[in-house]
Chains A and B, each alone.
Chain A
Amino acid sequence: MKDRPAQPADIDGNPVTPGLPMAMLAEITHRCPLACPYCSNPMELVRAGAEISAEDWGRVFRQAADLGVLQVHISGGEPGARRDLAQIVAHARDAGLYVNLITSGIGITEDRLRELDDAGVDHVQLSLQGIRPDMADRISGHPGSWNKKMAFAEWVTRIGFPLTINAVVHRQNMERLPEMLELAEGLGARRIEVATVQFHGWADLNRDALMPTREQAVFARRIVDEGRLRLRGRMVIDYVPADHHAVYPKACMGGWGSTGLNVGPDGTVLPCHAAQSIPWMRFENVQDRSLSDIWHLSDSFNAFRGTAWMPEPCQSCERKSVDFGGCRCQAMALAGDARATDPVCSLSPLHASVVEAAEASAAGPTDSLVYRRMSRAD
């Protein structure tokens, strides 16, 4: 047992007891051939020159496994943009981790996919931006993306990987959800993740073009419920609903610093992928400190652990250990305060204004999109 200096404490100095992480998101690069307007990467993208090496990732994976991590989600950007992806995957398997590869399917050839099979990828998750070429290519900002993705899905099945389809839904495609389920089933997917756009970062720039209407949110819920019955035992549907239309907020990350962590392309360690939207928070890097120390001792991970930091109405709410006050990044974005009750919660004093703003965006005067791009500054 290593010496642990002081008892870890939350943002108010209340003692907290860190648990053990189960899953790690490894965003190994921010480079991506697509330009989806709801990209979950931070606004400040990390450039290729700042990416840590495959050997560094190997060290991080071993530290993660020692810390209790069981699964790694290798994502990006597009992870295939790294030529050494197979080496990174092999390091993760050597560390004993279960490897999920989350990809756009663009830029990985069939030969390369076979290399990734040899390297030990356990499961492939393929993003789709639409059910037909026109929509998929427009949303991804990448002409020809649809055909490449369909070819990729076929290789995945031919090699035998389990396949998950990752479908992000928003105002411009929600009516197509039934066809998206059919498409996923036809591609032989074991799972589909239907995730409503989360309005942080890039997506927030596109609120007026992407915010679903209340009727769409109700429709999507019904399609998911019916689909789960019809597809029972054939395909699993995981669903992230539109939380601007919900009664209670989502239990983001299952509680801050409780079960997951995210390591970015340059080795920055985050409690969630959007945490950098909290401007005052300082994050540590695997180049400077061990993952275990960062998990157990860093201010960023301890800030919102437990429930003692919560303000009212969360503090006296019986759901405080169910949804953990909601999403800290959403509280930052909508209330201007990362400590606040997530304003999408119906108990938040800001809830009425959030709903009003969401409905105004949903009635959106525009369908035009701001795409995610790396700046050309240097």
Chain B
Amino acid sequence: MTPLIAPADIPYLPRGVRLQRDRVRDITVLQAPERALRLDAVGEAILSELDGIRSMADISAALAARYDAPEAQISADMRDFLTGLIERRMVFVKGAP
């Protein structure tokens, strides 16, 4: 899978895509056009960090520090997870300012 995001890119949730608590199933879902995607804890942790300001590298560093995990691993997981969502047009990216 060719990655669709580089470390310096800034990922964000575009209009029409939002995180929402599913109170009936007690999970968090990503609401998007015609899709509601169930998120696991990792997916939720990543998407909750997207603020449209910080780059993927910034966010993976923050998550690595918070969860005391190897940054290379977090960075690779994040790249693959976000690439899947970019393919589905649920996450957009912009270049560094």
Contact = CB atoms under 8 A, between A and B. Distances in A.
A236 B20 contact: no
A66 B24 contact: yes
A100 B29 CA distance: 16
B4 interface: yes
3 shortest A-B CB distances, which residue pairs?
A162-B16, A123-B33, A68-B24
15 contacts: A20-B24, A22-B36, A65-B24, A70-B31, A71-B31, A71-B34, A98-B18, A98-B20, A100-B34, A122-B31, A162-B33, A164-B33, A190-B16, A233-B89, A238-B34
Nearest to A123: B33
B6 to A, nearest CB: 13
Determine the interface band of chain B, counting residues with CB < 8 A from chain A. Answer: 10 to 19
Most buried by B among A67, A73, A160, A190: A190
Interface of B: 4, 14-18, 20, 22, 24-25, 29, 31, 33-34, 36, 86-89
A232 interface: yes
A230 to B, nearest CB: 13
Contacts of B20: 70, 96, 98
Contacts, number: 62
Contacts of B4: 232-233
The DSSP consensus for interface residues of chain B is loop
A68 B25 contact: yes
Task: Tell me which of A67, A100, A123 has the highest count of chain B C-beta atoms within 10 A of its own C-beta.
Answer: A123
Contacts of B15: 160-162
A7 to B, nearest CB: 22
Given A71-B31, A164-B33, 7 more contacts: A67-B24, A68-B24, A70-B31, A98-B20, A122-B33, A191-B34, A236-B89
A347 interface: no
A234 B86 CA distance: 8
A123 B24 contact: no
A100 B18 CA distance: 14
B36 A100 contact: no
Interface string A67-81: 110110100000000
B36 to A, nearest CB: 4
A123 B16 CA distance: 6
Contacts of A162: 14-17, 33
Contacts of B87: 232-233, 236
B57 to A, nearest CB: 20
A235 interface: yes
Contacts of B33: 100, 122-123, 125, 162, 164, 190-191
B83 to A, nearest CB: 8
B24 A164 contact: no
Contacts of A100: 33-34
Nearest to B24: A68
Contact of A70 (B29, B86, B88): B29
B16 A235 contact: no
B22 A122 contact: no
Contact of A164 (B25, B34, B36, B88): B34
A191 B24 contact: no
A125 B32 CA distance: 13
A234 B4 CA distance: 11
Nearest to B34: A100
Nearest to B93: A233
Contacts of A22: 36
B89 to A, nearest CB: 4
